[in-house]
Amino acid sequence: MSLHPPGEAAEHLALHGRFTRASRMGAGHINDTFLAEFEGAEPLVLQRVNSAVFPDPEGVMANIERVTDHLARRCPDERRALRLVRAKDGRAFWRDAAGELWRAYRCVEGTLVKDVVGGPWEAYEAARAFGAFQYLMSDLPGGPLEETLPGFHDTPGRLKAFEASVREDRAGRAAAAKAEIDAVFSRRAWAERLAAAARAGLVPVRVTHNDTKINNVLFDAASGKGLCVIDLDTVMPGLMLYDFGDFVRTAVSPAPEDEADLSRVQVRTEVFEALAQGWRDGSGGMISEEERALLPSAGRVIAYELGMRFLKDHLDGDRYFRVHRPNHNLERARCQLRLASEIFSREAELALYC
Ligand SMILES: Nc1ncnc2c1ncn2[C@@H]1O[C@H](COP(=O)(O)OP(=O)(O)OP(=O)(O)O)[C@@H](O)[C@H]1O
Ligand SMILES: [Mg+2]
């Protein structure tokens, strides 16, 4: 489908100024993002929401509206909290003629994003920003957010779905992936590690971001400090351990998510120490004792869950995650399962930093 011109969206979404031009921003893995410039008004970040990834984009926008309204109340510093700009008709988004949904945010100028965690300082800064986000959301009024991606971190549920895919073996790949399948099944107890605590009510359901990787934090270009959490498409009710665990998963190893050389998949303890410290500093003492006890395991569980999802998709014939080479999802699965094992073997040590 051809992309609807962002200029028309800008006309509907901007209250002031005359639209002059739009240029693409970011890598745009999910949404299409543009910087829209105006004569007589501040620039805006315009996004066309990916309707294939988000089955309920209006639910997504309802959540984002509540979260950004609350951020605006709680955090007067506009550079530290994403601000949604409402459309001329007062709604949180505008739909184009093709039915695609557009939204606008204030542009936080003088910022940059980082795609990899180079070292402890960056881990600290990003973790502090995510921790602060959770702290600011801790008194969100109006009841729980909508669960726009149901069961997103329901690890036991994911395991059941995985078992079904192994049985079905619709792409005929299960025999060749036996070692990885066995690795998932032999660690099935890991699926219960956070889920059991949640079921027993030992850890609270909070507002979670659900995409806590470093490139969803804007850094101040001048000071290098972490400023503002972006990419709120997946805000939902969940455990803080999901967000912490996903950040550990994406930050702690120097290797990318699909590293083929598994010897490069490692736990950088100094990065873990910094990110645990950053999260604590940002979240203002809200982490409970029960949550704290599970922090060392959170990255392991989330890496295990994602490893299982990659392997499931490989067995299903690569239907969900886009692949760039044969066996790409199998390699991703190996990498995540290795990371989960690496974290597991270091948890006693990691606990010293939590
Ligand atoms: N409010 C903002 N101010 C300045 N830049 C922004 C803002 N929001 C987004 N950006 C820029 O746009 C990029 C994409 O934003 P975002 O993460 O929301 O989109 P996405 O499609 O979910 O991206 P990805 O899938 O790559 O995470 C960011 O990396 C950042 O460079
Ligand atoms: Mg993003």
Q: Residues of CATH 3.30.200.20 domain(s) within the chain?
A: 6-109
Phi, psi dihedral angles at 272 (to 5 degrees): -60, -45
What pLDDT was estimated at residue 12? Answer: 82
145/267 Cα distance (integer angstroms): 34
Q: What's the pLDDT at 75?
A: 93
pLDDT at position 28:
62
All CATH 3.90.1200.10 domain ranges of the chain, comma separated, are 120-351
Span from the CA of 53 to the centroid of ligand 1 (angstroms) = 16
What local confidence, expressed as pLDDT, does residue 13 receive? Answer: 82
Alpha helices in the chain (DSSP H): 6-13, 57-74, 120-136, 155-168, 178-186, 192-199, 240-251, 269-282, 289-316, 328-351
CATH superfamily of 6-109: Phosphorylase Kinase; domain 1 (3.30.200.20)
Find out whether the beta carbon of 108 lies less than 6 Å from any atom of ligand 1. Answer: yes
Q: How far apart are CA 75 and CA 147, in angstroms?
A: 25
Those residues of the chain that have pLDDT short of 50 are: 1-3
Protein fold of 120-351: Aminoglycoside 3'-phosphotransferase; Chain: A, domain 2 (3.90.1200)
CB 107 near ligand 1, within 6 Å: yes
Query: Tokens 């100094």 identify what position?
Result: 270
Of all protein residues, the one whose alpha carbon is nearest to atom 31 of ligand 1 is 26
Residue 322 CB contacts under 8 Å (≥ 6 apart), including other chains: none
Strand 236-238 with 226-229, pairing: unpaired
The pLDDT, as a whole number, for residue 115 is: 93
Residue 64 near ligand 1, beta carbon < 6 Å: no
Does the Cβ of 104 fall within 6 Å of ligand 1? Answer: no
Distance 26 CA to ligand 1 centre (A): 6
Helices and strands (H, E) in the chain, number of each type: 10, 11
107 Cα–ligand 1 center, Å: 10
What is the 104 CA–ligand 2 centroid distance (Å)?
15
b/e code 148-166 from CB counts within 10 Å (16+ = b) = bbeebbebbebbeebbebb
Q: Convert the pLDDT of each residue in 238-263 to its tens digit.
A: 999 999 999 999 999 999 999 999 99
CA-derived radius of gyration, the chain: 21
What's the rounded Cα separation, in Å, for the pair 88 and 143? 28
